[in-house]
Structure 1
Amino acid sequence: MINQFRNLNPLNLILLAAYTVFMRLAIFINMPEQLNFEFLEPYAKFFIQIPLSNSLSPSANIFFATIIVFIQAILFNRIINNHGLLAKPSYLPALLYITGSSLFLQFLILSPPLICNFLLIWIMDKFLKISKTPNAMMTMFDIGMIIAFGTIIYFPFIVLLIMLWLSLLLYRSFNWREWIAGFIGFLTIFFFIAVFYYWNDNITQFYKIWRPLTNLFPSNLQIKYNDYLVLVPVSVIMVLASLQLRENFFRSFISTRKAFQMLFFMFVVAIISFYTKPDFRLYHFILSVPPGAVLLAYYFSNAKKRWFYESLFVVLVLAIQYFLFV
């Protein structure tokens, strides 16, 4: 299967669509009786009313989630290929994105982080471009605004502000205008939100938006390890990908090295951002799928022993299906 997706054969689009449905068989067969979809954070509902959460049936919820993941996979695939992060253009990024988006049952439903992945993929594209532009100020401003829109949908998205400065450290020499441009873009959106709250004599509620940022990072987490056994094959592939990347690191273009460093930081930031939402759910971690899928695709793009990497992928898919049904 991996060999099939190592090229840009248009037939792979049909196979990807079928694969997306296949990876969701568990939830289609065992359809939940009710699924609530909260599209926006509570503070955003004060000025934006979208009565979507109560109008979608469980089947419609899962259907739209499937379509969204497929579209995101195609967009993601195009961006990774355009920036030449893998050995050659292929459909492996889309394949691994769909696989990563199917790891847990909560990944298979409509959720705010799933919607935010459109913005995250867009941000990835912009970060990968900033080394190629003479002046990154407007790009950083745009990224700041995108992060603000993501924060309206799902508050933990705000932690991606850290990526503004991490990416500048990796890609650009110091320019104080670029360093503040992204933050100004972020504040621009929330300035208008603050004005709206003020006009409605509710400015005290606006201040409460930022309270989650003062949360302490949890010192211990209640983890049901059986629920995360599916991550064992994923971790094995990531370790193999890291070893592969290390072996090729100094033979790669400088831009490729910096891109993978940036994606690693994005992967970590996406995971740790859960602390800003005390009642976070497992679907939060779908934010880590785009940067993580690049690393997985890198391994399968460079692996040499076909019997091994094909078997490893089959084990991964079977493990996902087993834990989804169980």
Structure 2
Amino acid sequence: MINQFRKLNPINLLLLLAYTFFMRIAIFNETHAQLNFDFLEPFARLLINIDLDNAFSPSTNIFLAAVLVFIQALIFNRVVNNHNLLAKPSFLPALMFVTGTSLFMPFMILSPALICNFLLIWVIDKFLKLGKTPNSITTVFDIGMIIGVGTLIYFPFMAMIVMIFLALLLFRSFNWREWVAGLVGFITVFFFLAVFYYWKDNLSSFYQIWKPLSNKFPSVFKINYNDYLVLIPVAVIIILASLQLRENFFRSFISTRKGFQMLFFMFIVAGASFYLKPDFRTWHFLLCVPPGAVLLAYYFSNAEKRWFYETLFLLFVLSVQYFLFV
């Protein structure tokens, strides 16, 4: 299967679509009374009053989530190939993206983090363009606005502001205007939100939006380790990919090296941002899938022993299915 997706063959579109629904067999088998979908944060509903909490039946919810994942996988695949992050263009980024979004049951339903992945992929594309444009102030401003819109959908997406500064350190020489542009873009979105709150004579509620920023990072976690055994194959592939990346690191283009460094920091920031939401859910970690999928794709794109990488991927898929059903 890996060998098939190493090629840019149009037939892979159909195979990817079939694979997307195959990886969701377990959740289609489940009986759900109701699946809620909070499209926006409560503080944004005053601005955009869209109530989708009970708009879809469980089966429709799961089906739409699968379709969105498939669309995201294709966009993500295009971004990775356009920026030459892998040895050669392929459908492996899309394959790894679909696999990553199938690791846990909560990943397979409509959620704010799933919607924000569209914005995250867009942000990744713009970050990777930073080193290729002579004047990136407009690009950084756009990134700030995208992050602001994402924050209206899912508050922890705000943590991506940190990535603006890290990306500028990696891709650009210091220019204070670029550093300020990202913040101005983000603030612009919330400036209009504040004006709307003021117009509704509810400015005191606007200040409550920022209360999660005062949360202390949790020091104790309640984790059922059996729920996360499926991550063992992921960890093995990531370790193999890291060793391979280290071996090829200084033989890669400078832009490729910086791209992987940026994605590594994005993975960390996306994972750690859960503390901004006291009642976060497992689907929060969907934000880690795009940067993580690139590393998984890198390994399978560069692996040489076919029997080994095909077997490894098969075991990976079987382990995901096993833990989803069990």
Residues 149-180 of structure 1: per-residue CA shift (max 9 Å, x gap)? 00000000000000000000000000000000
TM-score by length of 2: 0.99
Corresponding residue number in structure 1 for 2:73 = 73
User: Residue 19 in 1 paired to residue 22 in 2?
Assistant: no
Corresponding residue number in structure 2 for 1:33 = 33
Give, in angstroms, the shift of residue 51 of structure 1: 2.1
Give, in angstroms, the shift of residue 299 of structure 1: 0.2
Q: Quick one: distance in 2 between partners of 1:143 and 1:32?
A: 37
Give, in angstroms, the shift of residue 14 of structure 1: 0.2
Corresponding residue number in structure 1 for 2:300 = 300
Corresponding residue number in structure 1 for 2:167 = 167
Contact 2:212 2:277 in 1 (8 A): yes
Q: Quick one: distance in 2 between partners of 1:305 and 1:276?
A: 43
Q: How many residues align?
A: 326
Residues 14-43 of structure 1: per-residue CA shift (max 9 Å, x gap)? 000000000000011113121000100010
User: Residue 105 in 1 paired to residue 93 in 2?
Assistant: no
Give, in angstroms, the shift of residue 47 of structure 1: 1.8
Contact 2:39 2:51 in 1 (8 A): no
Unaligned runs of 5+ residues in structure 1 are none
The amino acid of 1:61's aligned partner reads: N
Q: Quick one: distance in 2 between partners of 1:96 and 1:124?
A: 16
The amino acid of 2:50's aligned partner reads: I
Corresponding residue number in structure 1 for 2:248 = 248
Corresponding residue number in structure 1 for 2:195 = 195
Corresponding residue number in structure 1 for 2:275 = 275
Unaligned runs of 5+ residues in structure 2 are none
The amino acid of 1:172's aligned partner reads: R
Q: Quick one: distance in 1 between partners of 2:259 and 2:76?
A: 15
Corresponding residue number in structure 2 for 1:55 = 55
The amino acid of 2:121's aligned partner reads: I
Q: Quick one: distance in 1 between partners of 2:44 and 2:31?
A: 30
Residues 214-253 of structure 1: per-residue CA shift (max 9 Å, x gap)? 1111111101000000000000000000000000000000
The amino acid of 2:165's aligned partner reads: W
**Structure 1 vs Structure 2: percent identity of aligned residues?**
70
Cα RMSD of the aligned pairs, angstroms, is: 0.5
Q: Quick one: distance in 2 between partners of 1:194 and 1:325?
A: 46
- Correspondences of 1:173-192 after superposition (within 5 Å): 173-192=173-192
SS in 1 for 2:42: coil
Q: Quick one: distance in 2 between partners of 1:47 and 1:94?
A: 35
SS in 1 for 2:279: coil
Corresponding residue number in structure 2 for 1:145 = 145
Q: Quick one: distance in 2 between partners of 1:244 and 1:31?
A: 42
Contact 2:303 2:309 in 1 (8 A): yes
Q: Quick one: distance in 2 between partners of 1:79 and 1:198?
A: 40
Corresponding residue number in structure 1 for 2:92 = 92
Give, in angstroms, the shift of residue 55 of structure 1: 1.4
Q: Quick one: distance in 2 between partners of 1:279 and 1:293?
A: 26
Q: Quick one: distance in 2 between partners of 1:168 and 1:213?
A: 24
SS in 2 for 1:3: helix
Q: Quick one: distance in 2 between partners of 1:252 and 1:202?
A: 54
Moved more, 198-207 or 289-298: 198-207
Give, in angstroms, the shift of residue 54 of structure 1: 1.4
- Correspondences of 1:126-141 after superposition (within 5 Å): 126-141=126-141
- Correspondences of 1:233-244 after superposition (within 5 Å): 233-244=233-244
Residues 100-156 of structure 1: per-residue CA shift (max 9 Å, x gap)? 000000000000000000000000000000100001100000000000000000000
Q: Quick one: distance in 1 between partners of 2:152 and 2:18?
A: 33
Q: Which runs of 4+ in 1 moved over 4 A?
A: none
Residues 243-268 of structure 1: per-residue CA shift (max 9 Å, x gap)? 00000000000000000000000000
Q: Quick one: distance in 1 between partners of 2:221 and 2:29?
A: 32
Corresponding residue number in structure 2 for 1:210 = 210
TM-score by length of 1: 0.99
